[in-house]
Amino acid sequence: MAETKIETLKPFQVDLSFATPRITLLTFLFLFLTLIGVAAGVYGLIVGHHHICNTTREIPWGILISGYIYFAIMSTGLCILSVLGHLFGGTSLLPLSNRSLYLSIFAILAAFLIIGLELENPWRMFWMAITPNPTSNIMWMGALYGACVAFMLLEFVLILSKRYALAFALGLLGALTEIAANTNLGAVFALIAARPFWYGAQLPIYFITSALMTGAAALIFFNYIAYEVRQKAMDEAMQKATSAAGKVLLLFLIAVSLATIWRFLAIFTGGSDKGRLAALALLNGPLAFNFWFFEIALGLVFPIIILVFGGLRNIHAMFLASLITLIGAFFQRYDLVVAGQIVHPYHGLFEGIPKYLSYSPSIFELLMIMGGASLLVTGFLIGERYFAGVFESREH
């Protein structure tokens, strides 16, 4: 009965049969958490970021930059997976395409919220838009991600109105723009010669690989939660789609593992002294626990083991693999940002200069990260309340 109802929906007609009291309660809860995160950021704008953030002149980028990168990369992966399902309609990923597109929109909005709260003078972004500097990577990052949002929003509206051909054309433009934005984001780090741990040609490609890994994990995670909050069993097509996403996750977990190995080999065989010191901070220094437990074991090794040994045939195992991948991926972003700045720039030049600087996020920074993550979850729950019929429809 429910399947028939979905297929007969008119353009822009909302099917509320999927709404449950549980979804309503969770939506208000995560909306409240989002507002707490926003309040923490607004408080920082009032009293000054130096009063609420633990960043310093030597380590100006902290966990908020890590959170921005995390959600921006996730958005790219979700957008690419959506386009793969839409453009190649015969693939098993097709049933997940609409939900993937919708999640991609809210993932980039979560990234925008975090970077907006991180900037001490966010209104200067408007001046950057009015007087753009074509030689600035950060200017292009803002322009490309802004265009991504516009393309994806238009695509989703066109899907709601059942204008699928035009929607898919915009989806392709959105995916290409997301890829350009993602590689440009990697270049923001890779072109800083003063930070040898970041400098090099690998990061832009590494970011794309990480995007597909994180996007696949997020898609499996939220698709599983969607059926749990509605207390509904997945049909056979959706189970096959989830399994296909699990295969994508496994493939790019292996790819990121190989990229990580070769990145460290390159640093130790041809990198600078400060680059090797930054790498050692991860291997046996102040960031070692983050690196070995969260980034390597939790973020790469355990999910690969789960998926290889039967996880691709078990929806619950895939959910577990996706959850720990998402946790590990966040620490991959955090370790990358902090390790690139942790070596004191004057180490070795003067006596008494420490080898490593220290940074740990403040409670306000953590609240702002919570606000961004809660915005994504709030958007997801709103989507399950109002657009679940679109997500489960096969008409496209």
pLDDT in tens, 104-127: 999 999 999 999 999 877 777 777
Across residues 261-283, what is the average pLDDT?
89
- pLDDT of 4 reads 40
Q: Are 373 and 367 in contact (CB under 8 A)?
A: no
Number of H helices, E strands in the chain: 16, 0
Residue 26 within any structural domain of the chain: yes
pLDDT in tens, 85-109: 766 555 688 888 899 999 999 999 9
Given a contact cutoff of 8 angstroms between Cβ atoms, the answer to whether 1 and 342 are in contact is: no
Does the structure show a pLDDT above 50 at 6? no
pLDDT grade for 5, boundaries at 50, 70 and 90: very low
Q: What is the CATH number of the domain that holds 378?
A: 1.20.1630.10
5 within domain boundaries: no
Question: b or e along 330-358 (b: 16 or more beta carbons within 10 Å of the residue's beta carbon)?
Answer: bbbbbbbbbbbbbbbeeeeeeeeeeebbe
User: 147, 132 in Cβ contact below 8 A?
Assistant: no
| Residue 307 near residue 249, CB atoms below 8 Å | yes
Confidence of residue 283 (pLDDT cuts 50, 70, 90): very high
Q: What is the CA radius of gyration of the chain?
A: 21
CA distances from 304 to 17, 210, 296, 310 (A): 37, 15, 11, 10
Contacts 24+ apart (CB under 8 A), 379-383: 379/102, 379/103, 379/105, 379/106, 379/109, 379/110, 380/102, 380/103, 380/106, 380/222, 380/225, 380/226, 381/23, 381/26, 381/27, 381/30, 381/229, 382/27, 383/99, 383/102, 383/103, 383/106
Residue 15 pLDDT exceeds 80: no
Q: How confident is the model at residue 14 (pLDDT cuts 50, 70, 90)?
A: low
CA distances from 244 to 7, 95, 250, 262 (A): 24, 11, 10, 27
pLDDT of 210 reads 95
Q: What are the CB-based long-range contacts (under 8 Å, 24+) for 187-190? A: 187/137, 188/137, 188/138, 188/141, 189/336, 189/340
Phi, psi values for residue 53, rounded to 5°: -110, 150
Q: Both ends of the chain: CA-CA distance in Å?
A: 20
Residue 334 is assigned to a structural domain of this protein:
yes
Of 237 and 251, which is predicted with more confidence?
251
The reply to whether 393 falls in a domain is: no
Q: Does residue 8 have a pLDDT over 50? A: no
In degrees, to the nearest 5, what angle opens at C-alpha 226 toward C-alphas 224 and 232?
Answer: 90
Q: Are 249 and 220 contacting, i.e. CB atoms less than 8 angstroms apart?
A: yes
Q: How far is the C-alpha of 68 from the C-alpha of 187, rounded, in Å?
A: 15
Q: Using CA atoms, how far apart are residues 100 and 167, in angstroms rounded to an integer?
A: 14
- Which of 336, 334, 340, 329 lies closest to 366 in space, CA to CA? 334
Q: Is the pLDDT of residue 3 over 60?
A: no
> Is pLDDT of 16 > 70?
no
Q: Which amino acid is at 8?
A: T
Summarised one tens digit per residue, pLDDT across range 331-341 is: 999 999 999 99
Surface-to-core class of residue 225, CB atoms within 10 Å of its CB (0-12 exposed, 13-18 middle, 19+ buried): middle
Distance CA 36, CA 374 (A): 10
Q: Which of 252, 246, 247 is nearest to 318 (CA)?
A: 246
The pLDDT value recorded for residue 350 is 72
Does any domain span residue 8? no
- pLDDT tens per residue, range 167-204: 888 888 888 999 999 999 988 898 888 888 998 888 88
* Averaged pLDDT, 130-156: 87
Query: CA 69 to CA 333: how far, in whole Å?
Result: 7
Task: Decide if pLDDT at 353 tops 50.
Answer: yes
- The pLDDT of residue 1 is above 50: no
Q: Answer yes or no: is 225 within a domain.
A: yes
Domain count, the chain: 1
Q: Is the pLDDT of residue 236 over 90?
A: no
Do the domain assignments include residue 2?
no
Neighbours of 194 (CB within 10 A): 9
What's the Cα-to-Cα distance from 164 to each of 98, 102, 167, 169, 342, rounded to whole Å?
11, 15, 5, 9, 49
Host domain of residue 326: 16-347+354-386
Give the pLDDT of residue 87: 65
Query: Has residue 80 got a pLDDT over 70?
Result: yes
Mean pLDDT computed over every residue of the chain: 87
Residue 359, helix vs strand vs coil: coil
Q: Give the integer Cα–Cα distance in Å for 340 and 190.
A: 11
DSSP state of 347: B
Q: Which residue has the higher pLDDT, 88 or 44?
A: 44
Identify the burial level of 164 via C-beta atoms within 10 angstroms of its C-beta, where 0-12 means exposed, 13-18 middle and 19 or more buried: middle
Residues 297-331 have pLDDT tens digits of 999 999 999 999 977 888 999 999 999 999 999 99
Assess if residue 394 is contained within a domain.
Answer: no
CB atoms near residue 151 (< 10 Å): 21
